[in-house]
Amino acid sequence: MSIISKDLNRAKQLLESNELVAIPTETVYGLAGNIYSETAIKQIFKTKERPLFNPLIVHIPDSDYLENVAMEIPEKASKLAKKFWPGPLTLVLNKKPTVPVLITAGKDTVAVRVPNHPVTLKLLKTLDFPLAAPSANPFGNISPTRPEHVEKYFSKKIKMVLDGGACKEGIESTIVGFNGEDPIVYRLGTLSIEEIEAIIGPVSILNKKEVLPDAPGMLERHYAPKTTTILSDSIQKTLKTLEYKKIGLLSFGPKKNFPEVSTELSLSESSNLEEAAQKLYDAMHQLDAIDLDVIIIEKLPETGIGRSINDRILRATK
């Protein structure tokens, strides 16, 4: 029997009994548990096979709730929250002592966001605790953007995926932390650097080498299909170097129809970057399921969300 269900009450009851429920958000599905339940939080790490040094994001119902989990909030953080919540922005802030260190991997900071999905917002408002939720995939694998992706990964490990349809945005939230008052982007994501800088001025982007183990979303290999995957800015050239038989292509713009390619999906036939983000993980799930020898993904323009998509593709190819 399918574990996918729209039963909000059951989701609430499971979460109140220290169990996990996969929840929809506008970015990707999350594997959620009560932040104050040690049983639930340990179960999240176990289910994902996620290392304990990798902290979790805390999902809260609205901006007013922030003061229950974070303190000493920089002015620029408040400005961003006011502008983008509910939405694909995660803020890393000093934590309240009441936030369990199991959530934050022993750090004094906590990552927080208000997700923008009607079903999950409704759920959060009926619960009297926030939800810790990493993306609902085994550690390092492709993130889930449909309830079926979660079911495929975890049908034997969790009781319920709360059905909220396909995720609107399709890649993870952008993570912003602070050094004093200075904003630092820890992870590129749905919210583009341009959109953030329009509100708070220049931000720095954390260099991968400096980041470990601060934001393992920046780990070199992550978001990865099982099939060998190549990022290419010239499909034609890449095809010349390959001797594989079954080649999959994830292109951008009108289909290219190369005779060497056995399956081609376009992330957006009209070259729309938002559409490409929305489709990226689903297309990777699809190509990964059909037993190809290699998947080639076309590099996207490095502007706006294109930069975040390229970041994910690059990590999928390491």
Residue 47 binding Mg ion, by CB under 5 A: no
**SS3 readout for 87-150:** CCEEEEEEECCCCCHHHHCCCCEEEEECCCCHHHHHHHHHCCCCEECCECCCCCECCCCCHHHH
Report the C-alpha gap between 124 and 41 in whole angstroms: 17
Residue 247 CB, nearest approach to ligand TXA (Å): 30
CA 279, chain centre distance (Å): 13
Place of tokens 């991997």: 105
Partner from ligand TXA, Mg ion, none binding residue 315, C-beta < 5-8 Å depending on class = none
Give the shortest CB-284-to-ligand TXA separation in angstroms.
16
| Candidate ranges 135-143, 175-183, 187-195, 280-288; the one touching Mg ion (CB under 5 A) | 135-143
- The binding site for ligand TXA (CB under 6 A) comprises 25, 27-28, 30, 54-57, 90, 92, 104, 107, 109-111, 115, 133-135, 172-173, 175, 177, 186-187, 214-217
Do residues 191 and 75 make contact, with C-beta atoms less than 8 angstroms apart? no
CB proximity list for 302: less than 8 A, separation 6 or greater: 310
Q: In angstroms, what is the minimal distance from the CB of 2 to Mg ion? A: 24
- Shortest Å distance, C-beta 162 to ligand TXA: 12
* Residue 109 contact partner, candidates ligand TXA, Mg ion, none, CB within 5 to 8 A by sort of partner: ligand TXA
Asked if 135 interacts with Mg ion (CB under 5 A), we say yes
Cis geometry, peptide bond prior to residue 213 (ω within 30 degrees of 0): yes
Selected range binding Mg ion among 73-81, 114-122, 128-136, 162-170, rule: CB under 5 A? 128-136
At residue 191, the 3 state secondary structure works out as coil
- Distance between CA atoms of residues 140 and 123, nearest Å: 28
CB of 28 to ligand TXA, least distance (A): 5
Minimum CB–partner distance for residue 172 and Mg ion (Å) = 6
Comparison of 160 and 175: residue with beta carbon closer to ligand TXA: 175
**Structure tokens given for 311:** 């970041």
Judged by CB, which is closer to Mg ion: 100, or 138?
A: 138
List contacts with Mg ion (CB under 5 A): 135
